[in-house]
Amino acid sequence: MIFLSIIVDENTKVVVQGITGKQGSFHTQRMLSYGTKIVAGTSPGKGGSEILGIPIYDTIEEAVKESKANTSIIFVPAPFAADAVMEAAEANLSVIVCITEGIPVHDELKFYWKVKEKGAILVGPNCPGIISPGKTHVGIMPTHVFKRGNVGVVSRSGTLTYQISYNLTRLGIGQSTVIGIGGDRITGLSFVEVLEMFEKDEETEVVVMIGEIGGRDEEIAAEFIKDMSKPIVGYIAGLTAPPEKRMGHAGAIVEGGVGSAESKIAALKKSGVEVGKTPMEVAEIVARKMKR
């Protein structure tokens, strides 16, 4: 059986921005252990040195020129993260994964349009990254919960991404690509954009979409799903969340009666999506669909 993936695969060459920081170095080691091809790192003032056998450059421009990296992962602190994303876009990287949380919305808006202008893919910010099980991991996910297979997973929630993927794996069901798009009000990728990629991916048979309260992304996705050929299984977190109170993510807030779990679930069901009540039920629904 052939297993494909979207966005990243075994040929992805990664540069780590902020590689010498505590989080950067820790997760670089984890990604290397998984088999990710990390070819360079950046840390201003430390160019010419190495960490974990990875060459360090002062700027992303130098790193890309020397290493031929095509993907960046950013562990730069929030006050400097916007500049890191902008520099990665200017270096013409095709994929930019921004793990950093706490970035001001106006900064996110600025680099969102810059990345779009450059035709690159931005994963995040405030996300766990992306994994193509058995091929590459560009992020901070607990890699042991994933298994290579044919279910695509897209999520706004990091923890639920891990839980539902683990439940799938326990049932013997692998994943083609698992992507956390981030929980902020502004994210590089929308549900619709990722669903479109999964729809075109020949080896993704079923898609799991994990949403949460706040915003209208899930309702917009529900409209798109009406024209999809592949079965979608949904899960929406936040059924018991009080209105006007932010729950975890910057985007997870019900305001003015818009963005509630109930409205999202109703929209998905109207489009023919089976919505699980628990993470385990989601995996069980997927298992049933895989046998058809």
- Give the residue numbers marked as catalytic: 249
Cα separations in angstroms, 151 against 119, 146, 196, 245: 27, 11, 14, 33
Answer for the pair 106, 112: CB distance below 8 angstroms, yes or no: no
Q: For the sheet containing 175-180, what is the strand order?
A: 136-139, 129-132, 175-180, 148-155, 206-212, 232-237, 274-275
Count Cα neighbours of 97 within 13 Å in the Cβ-side half-sphere.
Answer: 27
Find all residues with CB under 8 Å of 34, minimum gap 6, and list them. Answer: 136, 137, 143
Cα separations in angstroms, 207 against 72, 157, 165, 202, 267: 26, 16, 12, 12, 17
Terminus-to-terminus CA distance in the chain, angstroms?
18
Answer for the pair 39, 13: CB distance below 8 angstroms, yes or no: yes
